[in-house]
C-alpha cells in the first residue's frame, strides 16, 4: 500500500501500517473475512499481533481499513488518468474512463474484495458506506466532471450514475458471482460504447 496516504504517522509507522494492509489484503482475499485471523495477518505482514492491534483495534476495523485503502488505489489511478486529460472530447474521455474502470474492477483482487464486502455488508454496515464514499461516489464524480462539459450539474450527476452502471453491466455481475466470462474485453466493449452513447444523448 502507498504509505503517503497515512498522514500523522512517522515513516516507520507508515511502513508498518502499509505492511499490515498488504498482509490483510493477502489474508482476507484468500480466506474471506470469516476465516481470516489477526494472527494470520500479523504473520503475512511480518509484524507482531500487538502491532496490528495498535493500528487497527479489531478485525472489523482492519477490514474496513483495507476496503478504504483499495478503493483509494482505484481512485488515485482514475485521478491520475483524468489529470492527464486537458481539453479532450467528452466521448473520448468517457470511453477511456469506462475502460479504466472496467479493467480495474475485474482484476481477481478487486472481484474478491467486492464479494467479501457483499458477504459482510449486513453485519458490518460501515463497509457499505466506506465502499460507496470511497468507490462508487468517487467514480461517479469523475464521470460527472467530464459530463459537465456538455450538461448542467444535476443532469451530469444523473447521467454519470447511469454511465457507471452501464459500463459494468451484466459482464461485471457475472464475473462477481464467479460465472466464467469468455473474451472479457469483448463483452465489455459494447457495454462501454452504449454507456458513452446514453450518457451523451
Phi, psi of 131 (to 5 degrees): -65, -40
Tens digit of each residue's pLDDT (9 = 90 or more) over 11-54: 888 899 999 999 999 999 999 999 999 999 999 999 999 999 99
- Over the stretch 121-173, which tens digit does the pLDDT of each residue have? 898 988 889 999 999 999 999 999 999 999 999 999 999 999 999 999 999 99
On whether both 131 and 87 belong to a single domain, the answer is yes
pLDDT at site 84: 64
Report the number of distinct structural domains present in the chain. Answer: 2
CB 40, CB 31: distance < 8 Å: yes
The three grid cell numbers given for residue 39, joined into one nine-digit string: 494472527
Residue length of the chain: 201
C-beta of residue 24 within 8 angstroms of C-beta of residue 41: yes
Instruction: Please give the model's pTM, rounded to 2 decimal places.
Output: 0.85
Whether residues 34 and 119 fall in one domain: no
Residues 178 and 112 in one domain: yes
How crowded is residue 78: how many other Cβ atoms within 10 Å of its Cβ?
Answer: 19
Are residues 89 and 163 both part of a single domain?
Answer: yes
CATH of the domain at 10: 1.10.10.60
pLDDT (tens digit per residue) in 86-127: 568 999 999 999 999 999 999 999 999 999 999 998 989 888
Residues 201 and 193: their CA atoms lie apart, in Å, by 12
Claim to verify: residue 52 and residue 73 sit in the same structural domain: no
Amino acid at each position: 500500500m502507498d504509505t503517503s496516504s497515512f498522514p500523522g504517522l512517522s515513516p516507520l509507522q507508515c511502513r508498518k501500517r502499509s505492511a499490515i494492509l498488504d498482509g490483510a489484503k493477502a489474508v482476507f482475499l484468500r480466506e474471506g473475512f470469516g476465516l481470516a485471523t489477526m494472527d494470520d495477518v500479523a504473520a503475512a505482514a511480518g509484524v507482531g499481533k500487538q502491532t496490528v492491534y495498535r493500528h487497527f483495534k479489531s478485525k472489523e476495523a482492519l477490514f474496513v481499513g483495507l476496503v478504504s485503502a483499495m478503493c483509494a488505489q482505484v481512485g488515485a489511478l482514475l485521478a491520475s488518468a483524468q489529470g492527464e486529460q486537458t481539453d479532450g472530447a467528452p466521448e473520448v474521455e468517457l470511453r477511456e474512463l469506462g475502460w479504466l474502470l472496467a479493467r480495474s474492477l475485474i482484476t481477481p483482487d478487486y472481484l474478491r474484495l467486492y464479494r467479501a464486502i457483499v458477504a459482510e455488508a449486513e453485519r458490518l454496515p460501515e463497509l457499505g458506506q466506506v465502499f460507496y464514499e470511497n468507490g462508487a461516489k468517487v467514480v461517479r464524480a469523475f464521470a460527472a466532471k467530464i459530463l459537465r462539459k456538455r450538461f448542467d450539474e444535476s443532469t451530469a450527476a444523473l447521467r454519470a450514475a447511469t454511465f457507471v452502471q452501464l459500463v459494468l453491466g451484466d459482464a461485471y455481475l457475472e464475473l462477481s458471482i464467479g460465472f466464467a466470462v469468455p473474451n472479457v474485453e469483448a463483452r465489455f466493449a459494447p457495454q462501454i460504447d452504449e454507456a458513452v452513447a446514453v450518457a451523451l444523448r
